[in-house]
Amino acid sequence: MRIWIKYTVFCLFLFAGMRMAAQETEHHGEPGKDLDVTELILDHVGDAYDWHITTIDGHPVSIPLLVIVRGSDGVWRFFLSSRFEHGHAEYEGFSIAHEGKYKGKIVEKNVSGEEVRPLDLSLTKNASSLIMSSTVLIILIMSCAAWYKKRKVEEASPKGFIAMIEMLIMNIVDDVAKPCIGKNYKRYAPYLLTVFFFIFFNNLLGIIPIFPGGANVTGNIAITCVLAVCTFIVVNSFGTKEYWKEIFWPDVPMWLKVPVPIMPAIEVVGMFTKPFALMIRLFANILAGHAIVLGLTCIVFMTVSLGAAMNTGMSVLSVVMTIFIDFVELLVAFIQAYVFTMLSAVFIGLSQVEAHGKS
C-alpha cells in the first residue's frame, strides 16, 4: 500500500510539473509568432534572479531573491529581485538585459549609454538551490550519523531511509574507493562520499519540476567546474613522489624525453584533461536530460498548426515520452554521480602509485 502512495505522489509531481511546463511554454509564445524552442530551453536551464513557480492567467508567480550589486559609483546595493518586475522595470539604474552578450544578467548604463556589468554577487536561483540542497543534505546525513551514535551496530540494524544511505555509503567505499585507491582509501573516502551525495542529491532535485526543485545546479558548468577543480586539487596535492616522477621523467626511451620533452608534455596535458573530462561529462549529461524534457513538451504547441488529429497524436506521444525520459533521468541521476565519484577515485588511485617493489 505504501509503495502505491509513493507512486501516486510521484505521478502528481510529474503531471504538475508537465502542466507548469505547458503553461510556461504557452506563455513564452506570442500571438502570431512561432515558438522559439531553442530560446525557451536556454531560458529554462539557465540561471535567474528569481525562482519562478508558475504562470497564472499570463501573470508569472515567483519567489524574489536577494540582489547584491556594486555599481560604477562604488556603492553596494541590496534589494529583492521583485524590484525588476520580472525584468520589465529598472531600479536605481540597474536592469536585466533582454538581448546582447549580457542577456539575462543585471546591467547598468555607463556615461556613453552602453550596457556594462556591475560587480554582481546576487543570490541567484542556482546559488539559492545550492545553499538549500547543501543544508538539507547535511541535516539528512547528520541525522543518520546520530542514529548510529545512539545504537550499537550489533544490537540494531537500520531500516528505511537510513538503510538506503548505509547501502550507498558501503557501495562507494567497498566498490569504488577500495579497489580504485588501494590501502589509503580511508583517507579519501570522506571526499568521495561528499562528492557522490552532493551530485546525486542535486540531480534528484533538478528532476522535481516544482519548488524546491527545478534548479539546474549540476547542469551548470560553473558548478561542475568547481567539482572538477576540487578533484584536481586532491589528486595533485597528495600525489606520491613516484607519481610526479612518472609525469616529469617517465620510464620511456630517452629520445622521448630529451632534447624535446615529448612525453613529459603529454603527461602534463593529461593532468588537466582528466578534470576537464569530469566537468564536461556531468554538465553535458544533466543539461541534455533537462533539454530533452523541455523539447518534448514543446511538441504539443509546435504541432497545433498541423490540425487537431496530428496535434492530439503528437500530444499523447509527447506525454508518454516525457514520462519515460523522467524515469530515465532518475537512473541518470545516480549513474552520473557514481561515474564522477568513480573517475575521481581512479585519478586519486593513479596519483598514489609507489615505486616498483614496494607494497
> Distance (Å, rounded) from C-alpha 135 to C-alpha 137?
5
CB atoms < 10 A from the CB of 252, how many?
14
Residue for grid cell 579519501? 188
- Side chain identity at residue 227, one-letter code: L
Cα torsion at 122, 124, 126, 130 (round to 10°)?
60
> Distance (Å, rounded) from C-alpha 48 to C-alpha 84?
12
The answer to whether the beta carbons of residues 133 and 202 sit under 8 Å apart is yes
* Planar angle of CA 203, 62, 97, nearest 5 degrees: 90
Average pLDDT, integer, range 238-266:
85
Given pLDDT bands bounded at 50, 70 and 90, which one contains residue 2? low
> Distance (Å, rounded) from C-alpha 208 to C-alpha 350?
37
Average pLDDT, integer, range 45-65:
81
Cell triple for 318? 509527447
Name the most confidently modeled range: 21-30, 37-46, 122-131, 253-262. 122-131
More confident residue, 274 or 47: 274
Average pLDDT, integer, range 210-223:
85
Given pLDDT bands bounded at 50, 70 and 90, which one contains residue 274? very high
- Side chain identity at residue 347, one-letter code: F
H helices of 73-220, where? 125-150, 160-172, 178-181, 185-207
More confident residue, 275 or 29: 275
Q: Identify the helix (H) or strand (E) that includes residue 1.
A: none
Kind of pairing between the strands at 94-96 and 106-109: antiparallel
- Side chain identity at residue 143, one-letter code: S
For the cut 60, the answer to whether the pLDDT of residue 22 exceeds it is: no
Cα torsion at 129, 130, 136, 137 (round to 10°)?
140
